[in-house]
Structure 1
């Protein structure tokens, strides 16, 4: 081969390499799942502490399996159950064990109700006999096996049922359930959405008592949504939705005795308008723990009911000047002392109380937050948790003795670490990611914090992305209104400090939220990368009111949602606009839900700063949103009218100067399209021009079929038209 020929081949290879590294992201790729990460599905730690189960699916054979793996070797030990071996079902896509791991609940069909609730078809699989029993011929809710595995309780049409798995007999334990009136054992819409649970019933340890919450929503106002579908006439979805200041469901705590089939009310005589955000049996089969909260959500009582002696004791009472966040971080030890998390010293920390409610000690301390509580190892007297001690944008896993001594950082890499522990806490599987590393799964020794083995990574995705033009996500802080706010920035790959660029800001800004975090990309991050390569600088700033920097920083927005958060975004935009490489005449902002509320306010109140804003599914007045969320931060409109009205964008439409794109789905049961319709009417009456897009029958997530791709094309084109100057509208 001649030297000239060798040179030509080398030049071709180098050109090809450069070309490969300059591949541009497209919206089709982003929203087709091209950059999806792989994970571990439905991981469950077996009671023996040495093994874990995972749900696997073979696409070729269309077979679902629950496979058992050994923690130490990570090798598959056996297949516990395969859909190929069960003639009664075609497949399953979720599972849960009974407490004694003798039986499984297999989910074979599911239909969504609201965000967290579903109606489903379920089967009980007996591991020893390899037989299946259908829970019900109807689509039911929240089937839950009794601890001894002999019975299953579930909800159907607002009533509770118990099925005996030996005899097949079904007992209907409530009879007064009625749509839009009475719900037994399943949460109403606002509890599900804001207290984040659906199953409002719980078995005791002896499998002979069921505690449940009854919701009487008779007096809750109804909300209706037209469902357009594809038929000649639309239908209507009518459900109970308590807007701020309106009537809530009247809740009561009920106790059902499985043996004599009797029911008594435990909350009888409790005065006032209250919530029951949590109920949980202790290790004692006759002691039930219940959390009660006042409507303002600034007082929380943890009460223990002795169902045998018919007595109760208030073991903990918390009061906060703003509000108390309800968590799932309650663990009862063998002696019924309990572990609890609280913000009472200004940061979220772990506390240990006696069974009488006396403080034994504060386990963790410092100007950082405990962000997840994983559990207590009784044998080692050790608590495991996740925290921000290594910086508010990072997460690490720690262990600490119950007495607060011998704290140890168990994870090694800076970024977001999250643990799933073996049942006996010998091992944990750590999920790690950062802004530069996609999710990787690693087995750790819980005592030493040493890595035992690598399980799974996403190196294939990393390699794939090497062909694309990708910019670094730069983390920093910006001092705004006297506070150091976390910020990330994505610049064009070929950024030139001597040029000027339009600035596009993203934020969510809701109370306790966080968007600036050292973790791997979510789908929107690829969109921001695409925008950066098309000539924009994209930034995100977590202002006052967001989380993980202490309760004072988070709760400063109390009674005035949309005031300080908006001030921070406006001031940050002003500061960034003064940079030589930012064109201060081309600054835009966008957000979804709370973020849409914020972007609308920023465009209106910061009309001399922002040229454009996109608001997707925004709250336009807090008077339109639900009781639990809104009143937690604002009290009621009757008590705080100015707080509601002075910071709601619907009352500031006369200030509109820039370009505004308003987007909503008509099937949004959460932030109702009413918000957008009334905002539109206000804009029209103020003689303000704007653009808007309605997605028929789409919920708060606005997805399904081609919807997300269409939505992001719409937004991208709007950005190019309003900020892009000479950039052309995108049709990719």
Structure 2
């Protein structure tokens, strides 16, 4: 590693120090093998498939993309590009894989081609099947592999023979076996088909995008190219029609029946040997949802449980699922806390805020959780792994940090990130005893984040403060840079070192950087998250102001020079801050901001703001392009604002920034717009990512008079 390499260049080249780090772990049920992905170095984008032998403590390559492709360059289909954009996947090579029940056969796609790896033998081969292949998955018995291609769901024998289509689209706007946009972008459901435990049939999603409004995303830098057509379900418009059918390997088809008019969102599907297929379906307003069991023979569904909430119902990773003895496992908001429910019993209380179910065993459930509203210690930014059973709750991760785990039988893989060290340490345990580690090849950053975690204001808003390296008491107050995400699903204040590397770099440019997680951000309590209902703008902005003023009592913050930057929701919040509160914020950088919520998608936007036809005044009040939303601002206080947007963004489309710029121009408000040709919501390109940091720092320093 060249010590002279700048942090912006290193940060971009390593994809935020994620390259070379092991991920996507799977433990074989016999406890002998651990399968995972990792690239060869901290600057290599191509992931390889690895197998770790838990008995010998050795690891070997099970699939090398360079060898399998003969050194050729990957070519991604539009469907695969969309999947990676939805999951924010910026690496290459093997970015995902699926295995059979014994974890002996793995299937994955490269360049739209299907590959299978024998994990015991360590051999991988291509299967000559129709493509471009998306999301290949072996059957539990390892005898077949299914995949989506060209809108159809295909299946073949594991050796590549007997290829056939099980479900084919009736026209070009129908797909089988793929998740629709809002499921992949907002529901964390990236799959569109599920194997039966007996490997004799699949549960297949059919998506009809005919009702969805069409948008066109052009590349102005190449006017000769046709615009890309995308089906985008903007708030208040029609969603895709999603149905399910049990599809046999013999070609049989049994439609699944539920009240799709009342519950159109298919949020979760789970199928295991412990019980019948589980469905979680939601109403469009997301204030009611049903847990259903489906009958593979008839397609009929029966109600297991119904949830209602006057504000909204959240979705959680890992649930619903069955226990081995057939009880329903779910996460619910009960009594002001987020609790684990097994059957009809809550197994956790207000001391824990349960976030995800990791594994369900015969005797316990493995979960991640943060401190609940009645925890003895707040544990700011900490997320721990807990074992929950009828006998109580046991925390198995140690030390302040952000911990997660994968478990199968007696083997647990524990990944732990802390404030003291870069990256995450991956440790293996068998029957709770150490059984080895998995090496990370990620780069060490050229700087170290010096983070002080705190709570600010009457609401005890979780915050992180970073000062320039070498700052000493007596050096005087510093100009402030607020660096939030500040919205739903985005916790920024975490007890993990690498989360603050960019913030530390900005601090080293001469700022006191503040990261604040106000109401609406996850990890504290249901009431904290739902406080933004119908007022995302006012609540989230108020909490940034409260956090700033509270911290100024303890930290050297110059409240006469305050800037704010952010991306996505953070970009919205940054622009909002400059426009609505120029008395507090003196400059802002808004990256890929949502500016008009009528242009954002149904599932996300309507959860927080309602349906625009029913609450138009709410949309106007939370917009950046209306007088009601604060476009008029304070008379005579026009603060410098830079707006950045990727023109290829199909999530927050560039129209958001163009409409904001037009409104600002009409209002006589000075601003700068930086369009990024060919860039999506992720900005994965190395040169773009590096220069964005440099340009932002330069703009903020100029705007606050630091140069």
Q: Could you say whether these structures have the same fold, taking a TM-score greater than 0.5 normalized by the shorter chain as the test?
A: yes
Task: Map 1:41-190 to 2 at 5 A.
Answer: 41-55=23-37, 66-71=49-54, 74-76=57-59, 93=94, 95-109=97-111, 120-126=112-118, 132-134=125-127, 136-165=129-158, 168-179=161-172, 181-190=173-182
Partner of 1:15: none
Once the two structures are superposed, what CA deviation does each residue of 1:97-124 show, in whole Å capped at 9, x if it has no partner? 2223342214332xxxxxxxxxx22123
SS, match of residue 474 in structure 1: strand
Partner of 1:573: 548
SS, match of residue 113 in structure 2: strand
Q: Does 1:306 align with 2:298?
A: no
Structure number with larger C-alpha Rg: 1
- Counterpart contact for 2:418–2:424, Cα < 8 Å: no
- Counterpart contact for 1:367–1:550, Cα < 8 Å: no
- Counterpart contact for 1:561–1:643, Cα < 8 Å: no
* Candidates 215, 233, 238, aligned match of 2:229: 238
* Candidates 436, 459, 473, aligned match of 1:496: 473
- Counterpart contact for 1:89–1:108, Cα < 8 Å: no
SS, match of residue 472 in structure 2: coil
- Counterpart contact for 1:392–1:549, Cα < 8 Å: no
Task: Map 1:366-445 to 2 at 5 A.
Answer: 366-378=350-362, 381-389=363-371, 391-401=379-389, 403=390, 405-421=391-407, 423-424=408-409, 426-443=410-427, 445=429
- Counterpart contact for 1:67–1:79, Cα < 8 Å: yes
Higher relative contact order (Cα pairs below 8 Å, separated by 6+ residues): 2
Partner of 1:653: 631
- Counterpart contact for 1:64–1:84, Cα < 8 Å: no
CA distance in 1, matches of 2:45, 2:477: 54
CA distance in 1, matches of 2:298, 2:168: 27
CA distance in 2, matches of 1:62, 1:631: 37
What's the offset of the Cα at 1:685? Answer: 0.8
CA distance in 2, matches of 1:498, 1:713: 25
Once the two structures are superposed, what CA deviation does each residue of 1:583-620 show, in whole Å capped at 9, x if it has no partner? 22211111111111111111111111111111000001
Partner of 2:81: none
Partner of 1:115: none
- Counterpart contact for 1:601–1:647, Cα < 8 Å: no
What's the offset of the Cα at 1:501? Answer: 1.5
SS, match of residue 514 in structure 1: coil
CA distance in 2, matches of 1:441, 1:189: 34
Higher mean C-alpha deviation, range 132-141 or range 452-461 = 452-461
Task: Map 1:681-700 to 2 at 5 A.
Answer: 681-700=662-681
- Counterpart contact for 2:182–2:603, Cα < 8 Å: yes
Q: Given the superposition, is the C-alpha separation of residues 658 and 271 from structure 1 closer, same or farther in structure 2, using an over 3 Å criterion?
A: closer
Q: Does 1:484 align with 2:460?
A: yes
- Counterpart contact for 1:429–1:441, Cα < 8 Å: no
What's the offset of the Cα at 1:39? Answer: 2.2
SS, match of residue 577 in structure 2: helix
SS, match of residue 662 in structure 1: strand
CA distance in 2, matches of 1:394, 1:472: 17
What's the offset of the Cα at 1:143? Answer: 1.4
- Counterpart contact for 1:74–1:455, Cα < 8 Å: no
Higher mean C-alpha deviation, range 170-179 or range 126-135 = 126-135
Q: Given the superposition, is the C-alpha separation of residues 428 and 719 from structure 1 closer, same or farther in structure 2, using an over 3 Å criterion?
A: same
Q: Given the superposition, is the C-alpha separation of residues 499 and 290 from structure 1 closer, same or farther in structure 2, using an over 3 Å criterion?
A: same
Task: Map 1:2-21 to 2 at 5 A.
Answer: none
CA distance in 1, matches of 2:94, 2:245: 33
SS, match of residue 486 in structure 1: strand
- Counterpart contact for 1:618–1:675, Cα < 8 Å: yes
SS, match of residue 140 in structure 2: coil
What's the offset of the Cα at 1:309? Answer: 5.1
The total of aligned residue pairs comes to 668
Q: Does 1:506 align with 2:483?
A: yes
CA distance in 2, matches of 1:340, 1:159: 32
Partner of 1:7: none
What's the offset of the Cα at 1:427? Answer: 3.0
Q: Does 1:339 align with 2:341?
A: no
What is the TM-score of this pair, normalised by structure 1? 0.84
SS, match of residue 369 in structure 1: strand
* Candidates 550, 563, 574, aligned match of 2:525: 550
CA distance in 2, matches of 1:617, 1:459: 28
- Counterpart contact for 1:418–1:432, Cα < 8 Å: yes
What's the offset of the Cα at 1:89? Answer: 9.1
What's the offset of the Cα at 1:679? Answer: 0.6
What's the offset of the Cα at 1:228? Answer: 4.2
* Candidates 562, 566, 569, aligned match of 1:591: 566
Partner of 1:114: none
Once the two structures are superposed, what CA deviation does each residue of 1:471-523 show, in whole Å capped at 9, x if it has no partner? 621111101xx41101111112223345121111011111243111110214x
Partner of 1:14: none
CA distance in 1, matches of 2:124, 2:523: 48
CA distance in 2, matches of 1:640, 1:345: 29
Q: Given the superposition, is the C-alpha separation of residues 682 and 329 from structure 1 closer, same or farther in structure 2, using an over 3 Å criterion?
A: same
CA distance in 1, matches of 2:102, 2:416: 31
CA distance in 1, matches of 2:570, 2:336: 26
CA distance in 2, matches of 1:93, 1:348: 35
What is the TM-score of this pair, normalised by structure 2? 0.87
- Counterpart contact for 2:98–2:136, Cα < 8 Å: no
Q: Does 1:619 align with 2:613?
A: no
- Counterpart contact for 2:13–2:686, Cα < 8 Å: no
Q: Given the superposition, is the C-alpha separation of residues 24 and 495 from structure 1 closer, same or farther in structure 2, using an over 3 Å criterion?
A: farther
Q: Does 1:707 align with 2:688?
A: yes
Q: Does 1:521 align with 2:498?
A: yes
What's the offset of the Cα at 1:706? Answer: 1.4
Task: Map 1:188-337 to 2 at 5 A.
Answer: 188-228=180-220, 230=222, 233-259=224-250, 261-267=251-257, 270-272=260-262, 274-283=264-273, 287-308=276-297, 310-327=299-316, 328-337=318-327
What's the offset of the Cα at 1:639? Answer: 1.4
Once the two structures are superposed, what CA deviation does each residue of 1:232-275 show, in whole Å capped at 9, x if it has no partner? 6132101111111111112222222222x122322266433611
Q: Given the superposition, is the C-alpha separation of residues 66 and 311 from structure 1 closer, same or farther in structure 2, using an over 3 Å criterion?
A: closer
SS, match of residue 661 in structure 1: strand
What's the offset of the Cα at 1:664? Answer: 0.6
